[in-house]
Amino acid sequence: MNISPTNPAQNPLLQTHHRQAKVRDTHITLAHGSGGKAMHDLIDDIFVNNFNNPILSQLEDQASFNLASLLQQGDRLAFTTDSYVVDPLFFPGSDIGELAINGTINDLAVSGAKPLYLTCSVILEEGLPVKTLRQIAASMQAAAKNAGVQIVTGDTKVVHRGAADKLFINTTGIGVIPTGINISSHNIQPGDAVIINGELGNHGAAILIARGELALETNIISDCQPLHSLVETILNQCPQIHAMRDATRGGLATVLNEFALSSHVGIRLDEQSIPVDEKVKSVCEILGLDPLYLANEGKLVVVVGREHADTVLSAMKSHPAGKNACVIGEVITSPPGIVLLKTTFGTERIVDMLISEQLPRIC
Amino acid sequence: MNISPTNPAQNPLLQTHHRQAKVRDTHITLAHGSGGKAMHDLIDDIFVNNFNNPILSQLEDQASFNLASLLQQGDRLAFTTDSYVVDPLFFPGSDIGELAINGTINDLAVSGAKPLYLTCSVILEEGLPVKTLRQIAASMQAAAKNAGVQIVTGDTKVVHRGAADKLFINTTGIGVIPTGINISSHNIQPGDAVIINGELGNHGAAILIARGELALETNIISDCQPLHSLVETILNQCPQIHAMRDATRGGLATVLNEFALSSHVGIRLDEQSIPVDEKVKSVCEILGLDPLYLANEGKLVVVVGREHADTVLSAMKSHPAGKNACVIGEVITSPPGIVLLKTTFGTERIVDMLISEQLPRIC
């Protein structure tokens, strides 16, 4: 029998081995993190068979890729990491698995990179239903497939009951930045336009409601979505983007404060032009929250020279993830490091970075 | 004032900004994970200033590197991830911070890769003393510096009290595999020699004692150490290594079972030649443990053609991390997928992969 070390997908022994492994336990036990047979079966059954790709199936302690073929796709490697601790694990519109894939894809995409490979490292609490883990892994694979990325290596740890909150996921991603693209929070210039791809705050509001601690019922769903294809569409039309970032924890306000500090510029927002869903607005009014600080998981902030704003807007509107794109503000010289908001009443106020947060732990 | 977007190390504004940020709280609160100012100050003070390198200081959502300069160091990129959940955080000989750096370096090194860049993603429990986090970050930086790697990007999450056990760390690493090196658990051939770089079980035994649940006192210390320099020394003398792996969770027995399964060979160990520290032996005898299954954090299993075994042994012995290296077994044709042990009594027994573990959560 031919055992090929380079292509386990064509290796009948490995395939048989994987198909045989099956977790029969209904709940995660410490044995599943032991390094022993229970762990190997869990990894084979839930992750390797599900994420199904020839790199992961090698079961080496590391994935490896040909550098020359990466270099054909661009001149720089992008590298980013994020841990996902969202509570609840499942919420309207998405779940922790999809979030862990899309979130890391987005952190690569906002550098202009084409996302390629992700790791998946899970910390499981003893007692977690195996069915839940299986469902989340399937959700990760669906998101990865949808975005054209592969989950190529991973790690599984189990901690005793009470030492973690059900399940945490870390994904770390690599991608390649095309030659000629230079996107950075340090590149912003006075006169630049600030553009957003759609309504703010849906993810944060959805999580808050899903926790069930408030006597509120709405049908707000998370905006969790991958942004790399939208970014690609934008860069195809306008490679001269100055800065991009997805507005996650801390919301739009935090991203713009980071931009203002990094580029030593001011930013003036126009409240009237900032899109917020009516349902999210209602929740914010009832709870006294500001949608500018609510988390998003599919919102892209783009800063570009004024002369390119129309090109970028029409590129964004041509894409499903950008159809509600609009200009929401401009970059100004002074005061440096400060974000201002021209309110609907015509007054102006500072939109500072919050010291703490409005909501506990939502992304 | 000249603000260079490409070299923040020479950027006085960024430097000033970082020096000013200072965490004054004594304990971690949910605010430190909020995305707001408290989190930015924590990241600046504890991580950015401490890990101190121009890539991290950019404070982008992703690090980026020139692919052409990676290609000068080899032809393949290696990529690996690990989460660290060790309890206690500090133990004789090391701590979770050093472990999180060395562990991921070792997972890169065993592919033959030169480790280059790491991520650092932490999940903090509300109430963790800031002093503890500072100490662990310093330990990470010391280990990174010692190994010549840089921590280039990261993530910080805080979960509420009781939702995590003090602190979990994920590190994900990339490195470059030199051209011509082809190390894989699928490459092992009958006749190969199995070599280890020193005594087994010190990490596992040290953790067990450090938990203080047993009325035992010893001075066993963890073997936590980086192995990349030992691997480089070996490969310089003998690039034809077939397989390498560090024997962490599940110990030597688990690694050899993985090897036997992946390469469809048998492995016969000689108990008499397996080095175990006298103190570790005593602990094992008292507690009824088998050192073959105890975790290590600085032990390298090398499989190489018999004809190269002496070259590899003398290369290993020339290096501080390999001075007690010895041949402990050989690869056989049959029974495939099985590890056998020739005991000191002259009998032979199967060393199976354990279903569960001997010790809960030690690496």
- A362, pLDDT greater than 60: no
Number of folded domains that form chain B:
2
Same domain, B191 and B151: no
* Co-location of B25 and B147 in the same domain: yes
CA dist A218 and A205 (Å) reads 10
B152 and B191, same domain (yes or no): no
Mutation for B interface: A28, A34, A66, A160, most B CBs within 10 A: A34
- Nearest CA distance, B240 vs chain A (angstrom): 15
Mean of the per-residue pLDDT values of chain B: 92
User: What confidence category does residue B7 fall into, taking pLDDT thresholds of 50, 70 and 90?
Assistant: very low
B227 in helix, strand or coil? coil
pLDDT grade for B307, boundaries at 50, 70 and 90: very high
Task: Let me know whether A335 and A203 are in one domain.
Answer: yes
Q: Does a structural domain hold residue A204?
A: yes
Gap from B256 CA to chain A (nearest CA, Å): 12
Contact call for A61 and B176, based on CB within 8 A: no
Asked if A173 and A246 sit in the same domain, the reply is no
Question: Does A357 fall in a domain?
Answer: no
Worst-scoring range by mean pLDDT, A48-57, A234-243, B66-75, B267-276?
A48-57
Give A359's pLDDT tier (boundaries 50, 70, 90). Answer: low
Establish if B361 belongs to a structural domain.
no
pLDDT band at B355 (very low <50, low <70, confident <90, very high): confident
Q: What digits encode the pLDDT tens for the residues B26-74?
A: 999 999 998 889 999 999 999 999 999 999 988 888 999 999 999 999 9
Same domain, A68 and A168: yes
Co-location of A35 and A19 in the same domain: yes
User: Are A183 and A142 in contact, with CB atoms under 8 Å apart?
Assistant: no
Are A304 and A188 in contact by the 8 Å Cβ rule? The answer is no
Tell me which chain A residue has its CA closest to the CA of residue B75: A67
Q: Which residues pair with residue B341 across a beta bridge?
A: B269, B349
Residue B81 lies in a domain: yes
B209 and B297 belong to one structural domain = yes
Residues whose CB is less than 8 angstroms from the CB of residue B320 and which lie 6 or more positions away in sequence, other chains included: none
- The answer to whether residues B65 and B192 belong to one domain is no
Specify the pLDDT at position A18.
42
Tell me the chain B residues in contact with residue A160 when contact means C-beta distances shorter than 8 Å. 360-361
Residues A53-112 pLDDT 10s: 999 988 888 999 999 999 999 999 999 999 999 999 999 999 999 999 999 999 999 999
Give the pLDDT of residue B359. Answer: 53
Render pLDDT for A133-172 as a digit per residue (tens, 0 to 9). Answer: 999 999 999 999 999 999 999 999 999 999 999 999 999 9
Is B358 among the domain residues? Answer: no
Kindly state whether residue B359 falls inside one of the protein's structural domains.
no
- Do A15 and A7 contact (CB within 8 A), yes or no? no
Residue B331's DSSP bridge partners are B267
Are A17 and A125 found together in one domain? yes
Which residue in A35, A39, A250 is closest to B36 by CB distance?
A250
For residues A199 and A76, state if they share a domain. Answer: no
Residue B357 has pLDDT above 80, yes or no: no
- Write the CATH number for B276: 3.90.650.10
Q: A324: which 2 tokens?
A: 């509600």
Query: Measured between alpha carbons, how far is A274 from A195 in angstroms, rounded to an integer?
Result: 10
Q: Which residues of A touch B119 (CB under 8 A)?
A: 79-81, 172
CATH number at residue A164: 3.30.1330.10
Q: Taking a C-beta distance cutoff of 8 angstroms, is the pair A321, A309 a contact?
A: no
Classify residue A203 as exposed, middle or buried by CB count within 10 Å of its CB (0-12, 13-18, 19+): buried
CB contact at 8 A, B168 and B128: no
pLDDT in tens, A238-297: 999 999 999 999 999 999 999 999 999 999 999 999 999 999 999 998 888 999 999 999
Asked whether residue B53 is assigned to any structural domain, the reply reads yes
* DSSP state letter for A284: H
**Considering A146, A177, A208, which residue would you say is the last residue of a domain?**
A177
A1 located within any domain: no
Last residue of a domain, one of A157, A177, A197: A177
* CB atoms B30 and A155 under 8 Å: no
Residue B6: burial class (beta carbons within 10 Å; 0-12, 13-18, 19+):
exposed
Domain boundary among B129, B152, B177: B177
Range of the domain at A223: 185-350
Assess whether B189 and B332 both reside in one domain. yes
ipTM here: 0.93
Average pLDDT over residues B192-202: 98
Rounded Cα gap, residues A248 and A298, in angstroms: 8
Helices (H) and strands (E) in chain B, counts: 12, 14
